[in-house]
Amino acid sequence: MNIFSILRFNNSPLSKPVISGLKIKPQFVETVVSSLQSIISAIGITLFFTFVPYVSKAEDLNTAGLLERMSNAYSNLNVYSDSGVVETVISQGGRSQTLKKPFSIKFEKPGLIRIEWTSSFGGMDDPFVLWSCTNGAFTYSKRINQVLAESSFDRAISRWMGVSGGSVKNIPEILLLGRSRFFGAQIGAKREKDETFENTDCYKVIFERAGMPVALWIGKHDYLLRKLEVATRGGVVTEIHREIEIRVKEGDVSFEPPGDAKKVERFQYKVPKND
């Protein structure tokens, strides 16, 4: 039963209501019901046409607006954490090799960030920690147990961008510095068909940077990056962000190197001697 059936009167004696001893004519009641139907219909139409443009704006969001929303989403966060991997597929002579560099990011305003990643040097894993705190920015190499004081976090990003596969730059730069030189230096950006990546509905954006094709997968519900893919001359580099959380556990952002870690101006690796 709907509102119209409730308001509808028939020819039974009960269809002639009395208010304060006054009889209401059925014709008057029908007029009121008809008016209510018109008003409710008008409200429904108004709500429909008010809601549809909002949905359309979300679906028809242009590329510049989408990238701006992504940047703002990160800039407005007070805390953030994730873990992921940078995969580089190198193809040569009909063969391909995949190099993986796992990483994690933990961030808390104002100015606290901790990035961990694992590279390889001389065929051995080389775990690093780059962190920024009230005393400055530092990098720790677990393999050689040395701590390097950075002149600035911006300089540290430039220093470790290649070694980390880019994980120290792309998202941390937006979180800590409020800008991204990587996403800002794009040419011919446009949207492609939306895709789902690892169970997350994403907007897909493609553009060129320094002559290299780039593709981004941006989560629809939070505008945070899930995947970045760059086709370089040496191979395809894919940066994947998983376990994204807008929270951090107490103490997770700070880092304290071992007490016996050596403070150096540049990392000192021992080169094995050949017998």
Whether residues 179 and 114 fall in one domain: yes
Whether residues 87 and 55 fall in one domain: no
Query: Confidence band (pLDDT; 50, 70, 90) for 121?
Result: low
User: What are the pLDDT digits (tens) for 58-79?
Assistant: 455 788 889 889 999 999 999 9
pLDDT of residue 93: 77
Whether residues 71 and 46 fall in one domain: no
Whether residues 71 and 91 fall in one domain: yes
pLDDT of residue 137: 93
pLDDT of residue 21: 44
What does the DSSP assignment read for the chain?
Answer: --HHHHH---SSGGGS-EETTEEPPHHHHHHHHHHHHHHHHHHHHHHHHHHHHHHHHHHT--HHHHHHHHHHHHHT-SEEEEEEEEEEEEEETTEEEEEEEEEEEEEETTTEEEEEEEEEETTEEEEEEEEEETTEEEEEETTTTEEEEES-HHHHHHHHHHHHTTTTTHHHHHHHHS--HHHHS-EEEEEEEEEEETTEEEEEEEEEETTEEEEEEEETTT--EEEEEEE-SS-EEEEEEEEEES---TTSS-----TTPEEESS--PPPPPP-
Q: Domain end: 25, 40, 59, which one?
A: 59
Residue 272 lies in a domain: no
Tell me which residue range forms the domain holding 47: 12-59
Q: Report the domain count for the chain.
A: 2
Whether 233 shows a pLDDT value over 80: the answer reads yes
Q: Which residue has the higher pLDDT, 176 or 156?
A: 156
Whether residues 52 and 140 fall in one domain: no
pLDDT of residue 70: 92
Q: pTM (2 decimals)?
A: 0.74
Q: What is the mean pLDDT of residues 195-199?
A: 97
Whether residues 54 and 68 fall in one domain: no
Whether 262 shows a pLDDT value over 50: the answer reads yes
Q: What is the mean pLDDT of residues 176-194?
A: 81
pLDDT of residue 24: 45
The CATH number given to whatever domain includes residue 234 is 2.50.20.10
User: What are the pLDDT digits (tens) for 16-60?
Assistant: 444 344 444 445 434 433 443 443 333 333 333 333 333 334 455
Q: What is the mean pLDDT of residues 149-162?
A: 91
Whether residues 38 and 68 fall in one domain: no
Whether 261 shows a pLDDT value over 60: the answer reads yes
Q: Which residue has the higher pLDDT, 45 or 191?
A: 191
